[in-house]
């Protein structure tokens, strides 16, 4: 495994931290504070398209609550794929705090 790639995780605490930092990372990128790698943007857009479109592996209409399981797995996959960028954003936030 490469040094800049983190392990795939289903740990809810780690995922919640990653989600929070991913949102902050996208917000900082939108404001021009940090550069956003294209592959992270593509992963995010692909997830949104998969989540919004009615074409699904397990359609929510037929499988009710279980239909959201594949959406959740796709979300976890995307968050884990963006792991290196999230770590870079955390280092950026840490450097800002040290400057204060």
Query: Residue 69: CB partners within 8 Å, gap ≥ 6?
Result: 58
The pLDDT, as a whole number, for residue 52 is 81
- Short-list 85, 74, 7, CA closest to 46: 74
CB contact at 8 A, 67 and 61: yes
Domain ranges of the chain: 12-93
Q: What is the pTM of this model?
A: 0.73
pLDDT in single tens digits along all 100 residues of the chain:
445 556 777 778 888 898 899 989 989 988 988 888 888 889 888 888 888 876 766 666 666 666 677 778 888 889 888 989 999 999 999 998 888 7
Q: What is the DSSP letter of 35?
A: -
The pLDDT, as a whole number, for residue 12 is 81
């Amino acid at each position: 495994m490469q040094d800049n790639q983190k392990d795939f995780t289903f740990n809810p605490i780690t995922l919640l931290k990653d989600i929070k930092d991913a949102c902050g990372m996208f917000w900082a990128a939108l404001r021009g504070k940090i550069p956003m790698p294209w592959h992270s943007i593509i992963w995010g857009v692909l997830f949104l398209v998969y989540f919004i479109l009615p074409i699904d592996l397990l359609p929510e209409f037929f499988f009710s609550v279980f239909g959201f399981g594949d959406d959740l797995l796709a979300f976890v996959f995307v968050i884990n794929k963006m792991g290196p960028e999230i770590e870079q954003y955390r280092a950026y936030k840490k450097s800002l705090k040290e400057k204060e």
